[in-house]
């Protein structure tokens, strides 16, 4: 009788150890994916806006989702001019994890992300609707669907105008 109790105990210890190792591995894997997602969201937004500042509209369009690539050069120029006149030189974009009050309504393959746009004089809060494009395996690519800068002083700024970020044309 005592022998089967020991067997059950050892089985429980081994099963517990294996499941703990699997949970830790899964946590590390998905944690790494989350970090990659956050970093890529900042990089794509930074590269895309910087391309506009540099006048490279081809590179800017490469950062845009299919729904936004048809934006005209005039619309891009207008958006960049407004950014420059309001906030000055653009530095970078970083995902802002503190802000989670999203008002953008995503579709199935979009993720609304709170992003801080860092300029030489100020930081500006923006909501960026990212299109998630699945790649092979666990790979993915992010593209900007639209950007809404929430600016209570100068008025909100939406790019492209008329996009999903433009709540002036929302039907709800």
Q: Decide: 160 and 67 in contact? Cβ < 8 Å.
A: no
Length of the chain: 172
- pLDDT, position 100: 55
- Residue owning tokens 């809060």: 125
From 114, 110, 116, 118, select the one nearest 100 (Cα to Cα).
Answer: 114
Position 37 confidence tier, pLDDT thresholds 50, 70, 90: confident
pLDDT tens-place string over residues 123-170:
999 999 998 888 887 788 899 999 999 888 889 999 998 888 887 544
């Amino acid at each position: 009788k005592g022998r089967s109790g020991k067997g059950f105990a050892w089985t429980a210890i081994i099963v517990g150890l294996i499941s703990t190792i699997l949970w830790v591995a899964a946590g590390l894997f998905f944690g790494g994916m989350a970090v990659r997602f956050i970093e890529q969201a900042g990089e794509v937004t930074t590269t895309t806006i910087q391309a506009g500042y540099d006048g490279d509209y081809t590179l800017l369009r490469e950062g845009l989702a299919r729904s936004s690539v048809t934006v005209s050069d005039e619309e891009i120029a207008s958006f960049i001019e407004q950014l420059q006149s309001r906030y000055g030189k653009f530095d970078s974009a970083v995902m802002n994890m503190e802000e989670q009050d999203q008002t953008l309504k995503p579709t199935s393959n979009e993720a609304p992300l709170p992003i801080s746009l860092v300029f030489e004089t100020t930081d500006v809060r923006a909501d960026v609707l990212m299109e998630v494009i699945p790649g092979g395996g666990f790979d993915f690519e992010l593209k900007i669907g639209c950007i809404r800068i929430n600016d209570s002083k100068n008025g909100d700024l939406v790019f492209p105008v008329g996009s999903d970020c433009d709540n002036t044309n929302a039907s709800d």
